[in-house]
């Protein structure tokens, strides 16, 4: 009996801690629903007692093109990342290539390079090639965040595929590519989902590359939409926070639909099971 | 890795090797095997080639461009024309002599180490707490991931408004407990503290998840034995949890270090490194030099970026060393 009430106490403490941790998220939602005239009220309304949707109307009016661009860039980054990382992961895991170890090390180091340094290098290159302010240039730049991570996830996952499975496919007469496409990829579903989720989320959230390489383009991502809002009218905080809420939707969807993949992605590479 | 080899090489029986009649067949088989191995090597290359080309074009080349930028005397015109004169270490000398360098380096270190210390301690405490397996523990632990998953511009703008001097909810909370309001983002004394607080909030989930997964590998029998011996919860933590978690802790801290050193978005969005460089780190200063004004100083900006890479690599290689040793 004692231990059960003890456990219940833990649940109560856990709820309190979560509430404290998520207060900024709650506050973002609360402010997004606050009418403009109440924004600077003292004391502030802790609950959205008179909710308004004027902030969300502003999102509909101003931010739809930005959201569309972010979706496009996110999906493009996922495609490019999978295209590069899945075959490379298979080669590193199963085909024992020349220089595989060195490549693995290079990928680890690549993840440590600060984004601003990459952005500055890309700026010079894109300027030469006339790629500044183009959405697909941004896809290329955004993919550099996810590709090394993707290769590492695929390598780790595909190393665990039983050799017998691949040998059996060989005996059936399938070549390496065929084996990869119709045997290895289908059983690597978990890795595919993890890499896709993270590359989408990182491309969707990217601010450094967008601000450096696409600040004057016709198609700009939502991170720049918010940034422009903050810069222009730093009074209409319900519109800013409403945009922030909408920009958080992919993260929320991800957490609900794919929580175990998220946890797997965070721990991958850091801890060896 | 070992299972993969089984399929490729059929084990040779000793009888076949010693049999004199089999030598011709054996030589042929060996040639066939060699050819097959060569072909599999070539296929491996084909699978890796796109990645190799990609890394060359979009990692090595930008880094080379950045190094080149830092070693030349660029102006806006010569940046476009591409004919800036080579200037050796001049940009690095300029940057090291700049009065902003000392503070930026100090802020970078403060930002990184204070953030990490709090993220780790709070993350560890939460991991131990969630390891008690109470009702809703799994769901609440998942909710704790949210700050880490949100786009940085979302977190940064939310914290900006919460830190607002006149209408921010944090000053309101201070008012409730009787403290006087603080100019969080607009006072040089508080700007760095503000961005550190926001960064701690963002980093806690990462520490929590990794440390929690580390806790799962500690055998439960150890705790059972300890509690039979009458060890208190604190003693169990000090004698079992903390020592056995040391390898995971090392990885978490080093990885956190590498990631925190390069934080840029958060600070740039909240304070732009200001007021008066009071919250500028090497990352924001580098960006400020290169892109923050109408008269960009690409050379010095790139130089600061390269110094940052150097610092990140020191900790990065340390991380790789620790990780490799743990795997061995």
Q: Report if residue B205 sits inside a domain.
A: yes
Chain A residues 178-197 with a CB less than 8 Å from chain B: 180
Find residues 108-147 of chain B whose CB sits inside 8 Å of chain A.
126, 129-130, 132, 134-137, 140, 142-147
**B145 min Cα distance to partner chain A (Å):** 8
CB contact A33 to B (< 8 Å): no
Q: Tell me, what CATH number does A235's domain have?
A: 1.10.3720.10
Confidence of residue B26 (pLDDT cuts 50, 70, 90): confident
pLDDT at B311 over 60: yes
The Cα A33–Cα B47 span in angstroms is 51
Residue A40 within a domain: no
- Confidence band (pLDDT; 50, 70, 90) for A268? low
> In this complex, is the C-beta atom of B41 within 8 Å of any C-beta atom belonging to chain A?
yes
Contact (CB<8Å) A241/B161 = yes
A206, part of any domain: yes
Q: What is the pLDDT of residue A27?
A: 93
Same domain? For B116 and B56 the reply is: no
In a domain, B94, yes or no: no
Q: How confident is the model at residue B106 (pLDDT cuts 50, 70, 90)?
A: very high
Per-residue confidence (pLDDT) for residue A270, from 0 to 100: 52
Same domain, B103 and B160: yes
| Residue A4 pLDDT greater than 70, yes or no | no
Contact yes or no for A266 and B262 at CB 8 A: no
Residue B177 sits in the same domain as residue B301: yes
Pair (B186, B247) in one structural domain = yes
More confident residue, B2 or B135: B135
How far is the C-alpha of B217 from the C-alpha of B213, rounded, in Å? 7
Q: Do B157 and A13 touch (CB under 8 A)?
A: no
**Residues B55 and B163 grouped into a single domain:** no
- Say which residue, B129 or A235, is predicted with more confidence: B129
User: Is residue A2 in a domain?
Assistant: no
- A50 to chain B, any CB pair closer than 8 A? The answer is no
pLDDT at position B9, please? 38
> In this structure, how many other beta carbons lie within 10 angstroms of the beta carbon of residue A79?
14
User: What band does A51 get if pLDDT is binned at 50, 70 and 90?
Assistant: confident
| Inter-residue contact A135 to A72 (CB < 8 Å) | yes
Is B6 inside a domain boundary? Answer: no
Question: Once rounded to an integer, what is the mean pLDDT over residues B276-302?
Answer: 87
Instruction: Give the structural domain span for A259.
Output: 56-267
Evaluate whether residue B93 is within a structural domain: no
Residue A167 lies in a domain: yes
Q: Is residue A160 part of a domain?
A: yes
Residue A203 near residue A74 (C-beta atoms within 8 A): yes
Do both B203 and B257 map to the same domain? yes
State residue A233's pLDDT score.
58
pLDDT in the model for residue B215: 92
Q: Do B48 and A97 touch (CB under 8 A)?
A: yes
Q: What is the DSSP string of A136-191?
A: HHHHHHHHHHHHHHHHHHHHHHHHTS-HHHHHHHHHTT--HHHHIIIIIHHHTHHH
Residue B276 and residue B229 in one domain = yes
Q: Is the pLDDT of residue B13 over 50?
A: no
Peptide bond preceding B2 in cis form (omega within 30 of 0): no
From A70-74, A199-203, B312-316, the region with the lowest mean pLDDT = B312-316
Same domain, B133 and B279: yes
Among candidate residues B7, B41, B61, the one where a domain is terminated: B61
Q: Residue A254: is its pLDDT beyond 60?
A: yes
The verdict on B104 and B50 lying in the same domain is no
At B328, the pLDDT band (50, 70, 90 cuts) reads low
Residues of chain A numbered 217-256 and touching chain B (CB < 8 Å): 223, 226-227, 230, 237, 240-241, 244, 247-248, 251-252, 254-255
Residue A134 lies inside a defined structural domain of this protein: yes
Same domain, B36 and B110: no
Question: Is the residue at B132 inside a domain?
Answer: yes
According to the model, what pLDDT value does residue B18 have?
A: 45
Instruction: Give the pLDDT mean for B27-40.
Output: 81
- What is the number of structural domains in chain B? 2
Domain boundary among B61, B81, B113: B61
Q: Is B12 domain-assigned?
A: no
Q: Is residue A9 part of a domain?
A: no
Tokens 């009074």, residue? A235
For residue A150, name the pLDDT band (cuts at 50, 70, 90). very high
Clarify whether residues B284 and B156 are in a common domain.
yes
Mark which residues 177-236 of B lie under 8 Å from A by CB.
201, 204-206, 209-210, 213-214, 217
Best residue in A42, A108, A120, A261 for a mutation probing chain B (most B CBs within 10 Å): A120
Question: Can you give the pLDDT at residue A5?
Answer: 66
What is the number of structural domains in chain A?
1
Average pLDDT, chain A: 86
Q: Rounded to an integer, what distance in angstroms lies between the CA atom of residue B216 and that of residue B220? A: 9
DSSP annotation of B238 reads I
The most distant pair of C-alpha atoms in chain B lies apart, rounded to whole Å, by 98
Task: Tell me, yes or no, whether B273 lies in a domain.
Answer: yes
Answer whether A24 sits within 8 Å of B158, measured CB to CB.
Answer: yes
Element (H, E) at B123: helix B101-130
Q: What is the ipTM of this complex?
A: 0.87
Give me the CATH number covering residue B223. Answer: 1.10.3720.10
Q: Which domain holds residue B283?
A: 99-327
Q: Are residues B56 and B104 in the same domain?
A: no
Instruction: Give the lowest-confidence range in B22-31, B115-124, B248-257.
Output: B22-31
Is residue B307 scored above 60 in pLDDT? yes
Classify residue B117: in a domain, yes or no.
Answer: yes
């Amino acid at each position: 009996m004692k231990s059960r009430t003890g456990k219940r106490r833990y649940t109560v403490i856990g709820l309190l801690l979560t509430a404290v941790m998520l207060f900024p998220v709650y506050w973002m939602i609360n402010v997004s629903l606050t009418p403009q005239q109440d924004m600077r009220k003292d004391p502030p309304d802790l609950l959205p007692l008179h909710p308004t949707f004027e902030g969300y109307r502003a999102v509909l009016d101003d931010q739809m093109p930005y959201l569309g661009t972010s979706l496009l860039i996110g999906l493009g980054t996922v495609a490019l990342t999978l295209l590069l990382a899945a075959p490379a992961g298979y080669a590193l895991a199963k085909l024992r290539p020349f220089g595989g170890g060195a490549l693995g090390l290079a990928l680890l180091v690549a993840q440590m390079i600060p984004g601003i340094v990459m952005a500055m290098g890309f700026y010079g290159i894109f300027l030469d090639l006339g790629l500044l302010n183009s959405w697909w240039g941004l896809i290329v730049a955004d993919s550099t965040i996810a590709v090394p991570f993707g290769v590492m996830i695929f390598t780790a996952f595909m190393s665990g595929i039983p050799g017998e499975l691949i040998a059996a496919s060989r005996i059936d007469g399938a070549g390496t590519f065929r084996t990869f496409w119709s045997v290895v990829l289908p059983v690597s579903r978990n890795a595919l989902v993890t890499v896709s989720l993270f590359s989408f989320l990182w491309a969707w959230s990217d601010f450094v590359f967008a601000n450096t390489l696409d600040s004057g383009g016709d198609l700009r991502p939502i991170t720049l939409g918010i940034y422009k809002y903050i810069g222009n009218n730093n009074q209409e905080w319900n519109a800013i926070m409403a945009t922030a809420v909408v920009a958080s939707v992919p993260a929320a969807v991800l957490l609900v639909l794919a929580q175990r993949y998220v946890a797997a992605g965070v721990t991958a590479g850091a801890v060896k099971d | 890795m070992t299972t993969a080899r089984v399929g490729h090489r059929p084990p040779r029986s000793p009888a076949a090797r010693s049999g004199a009649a089999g030598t011709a067949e054996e030589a042929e088989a060996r040639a066939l095997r060699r050819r097959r191995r060569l072909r599999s090597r070539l296929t491996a290359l084909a699978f890796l080639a796109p990645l190799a080309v990609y890394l060359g074009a979009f990692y090595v080349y930008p880094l080379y461009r950045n190094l080149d930028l830092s070693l030349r005397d660029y102006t806006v015109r010569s940046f476009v024309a591409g004919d800036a004169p080579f200037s050796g270490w001049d940009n690095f000398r300029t940057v090291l002599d700049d009065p902003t360098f000392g503070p930026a380096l100090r802020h970078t270190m403060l930002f990184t180490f204070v953030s990490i210390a709090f993220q780790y301690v709070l993350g560890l405490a939460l991991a131990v707490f969630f390891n008690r397996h109470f009702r809703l523990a799994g769901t609440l632990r998942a909710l704790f991931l949210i700050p880490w998953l949100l786009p940085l511009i979302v977190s940064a703008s939310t914290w900006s408004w919460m830190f607002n001097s006149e209408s921010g909810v944090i000053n309101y909370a201070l008012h409730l407990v009787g403290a006087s309001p603080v100019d969080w983002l607009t006072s040089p004394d508080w700007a760095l503290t503000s961005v550190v607080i926001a960064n701690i909030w963002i980093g806690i989930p990462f520490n929590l998840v990794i440390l929690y997964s580390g806790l799962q590998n500690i055998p439960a029998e150890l705790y059972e034995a300890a509690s039979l011996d009458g060890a208190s919860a604190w003693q169990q933590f000090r004698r079992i949890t903390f020592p056995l978690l040391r390898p995971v802790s090392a990885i978490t801290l080093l990885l956190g270090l590498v990631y925190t050193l390069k934080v840029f978005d958060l600070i740039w969005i909240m304070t732009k490194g200001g007021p008066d460089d009071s919250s500028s780190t090497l990352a924001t200063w580098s960006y400020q030099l290169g892109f923050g004004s109408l008269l960009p100083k690409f050379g010095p900006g790139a130089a600061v970026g390269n110094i940052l890479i150097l610092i990140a690599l020191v900790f990065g290689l340390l991380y790789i060393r620790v990780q490799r040793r743990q795997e061995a």
